[in-house]
Amino acid sequence: MPEGDTIFRAARAMNRALAGKKVTRFESVLPKLTRVNEDKGLVGRTIESVTASGKWNLIRFSGDLILLTHMRMNGSWHLYRPGERWQRPRSDMRIIIETVDLVAVGFNVPVAEFHSEQSLRRKPELRQLGEDLLSEDFDAQAALEKLKTQADQEIGTALLDQRVMAGIGNVYKSEICFACKVSPFALVHSLNENQVRSVVETAYKFLKANVREASDGIATYAGFRRTTRHRNPAERLWVYGRRGLPCRTCGTKIESKKHALDARVTFWCPKCQPISR
């Protein structure tokens, strides 16, 4: 599933490419979008901005019309020149937004809705979002207090709750817990103040580092999420996807198991991250 940094980078690239340009063509295989296009007409509208909010992508058009999308597990936005060959098959196309010189194609987008600013404010999933880790006005203290309200949740589960902090997905969940030397299965109330603060600060550091265009700390490259300082692509993550391999810190074999109700796989080092309840 695309995490907050992926959505942020996609929105930034789309905003740079499309903002200020007029729509010359709009096409969708999604009936709800097609009906709005027929009723209100996208062609001729100006694309005002493309922004991210947590794992949501918002494309604002002139005339108070907003396309809200969520990628879930497999969705993505691509940018092409007119006539350029797509990297995905036509059958995966869900949305096309074309301007004179660029085409934005949404592939396998599972959630796509048109909104006005008013209806967007009523959208429960957006209203309930916690502190957005990639927002310019991210409030670490507010995020810390929100995280502490999840006292009886496992920290790994709480980190995935977008109502606590927006933008963290399954990769970051495991990486943040490892970096903080916290078991992903520890209950939030079992962590002390410094540990909870470290979790919030590390989440912010990791996501921000992976959207910088020139990193001055954690090494980052376009398309390769990193949480270590290693420049070797094979060493870019601490624990995620490394079941059975030696911990980069202590050499103990990394373990993994399906975790919580959605059964996403969690990775951890049993020595570096001892459980305490």
Looking at the fold, whether 8 and 97 belong to one and the same domain comes out as yes
Q: Is the pLDDT of residue 119 over 60?
A: yes
Is the separation of the CB atoms in 55 and 7 below 8 Å? yes
Output the domain CATH number for residue 15. 3.20.190.10
Please give the pLDDT value at position 208. Answer: 94
Residue 148 — pLDDT band, cuts 50, 70, 90? very high
Specify whether 154 is located in the same domain as 213: yes
Same-domain pairing of 233 and 219: yes
Task: Kindly list the catalytic residues.
Answer: 2-3, 55, 264
> In degrees, to the nearest 5, what angle opens at C-alpha 76 toward C-alphas 48 and 26?
50
98/205 same-domain check: no
Residue 229: per-residue pLDDT: 78
- The model's pLDDT over 180-199, given as tens digits with 9 standing for 90+, comes to 999 999 999 999 999 999 99
Q: Which of 88, 107, 127 is the last residue of a domain?
A: 127
Per residue in 201-221, pLDDT tens? 999 999 999 998 754 444 333
**Which structural domain range is residue 25 located in?**
4-127
Q: Check whether residue 112 and residue 137 sit in a common domain.
A: no
Predicted pLDDT at 227: 92
User: Cβ distance 239 to 269 under 8 Å?
Assistant: yes
CATH number, position 219? 1.10.8.50
Is residue 273 domain-resident? Answer: no
pLDDT of residue 220: 36
Structure confidence by residue, pLDDT tens digits, 20-73: 999 999 999 999 999 999 999 999 999 999 999 999 999 999 999 999 999 988
Single-letter amino acid code for the residue at 62: S
Q: Give residues with Cβ within 8 angstroms of 64, minimum separation 6.
A: 116, 117
pTM for the predicted model, two decimal places: 0.89
- CA 60 vs. chain centroid, Å, equals 19
- A 10 A CB-CB count for 127 gives 10
Query: Looking at residues 85-101, what average pLDDT do you find?
Result: 96
CA atoms of 49 and 89, how far apart (whole Å)? 27
Percent of the chain with pLDDT over 70: 94
Tell whether 87 is covered by a domain: yes
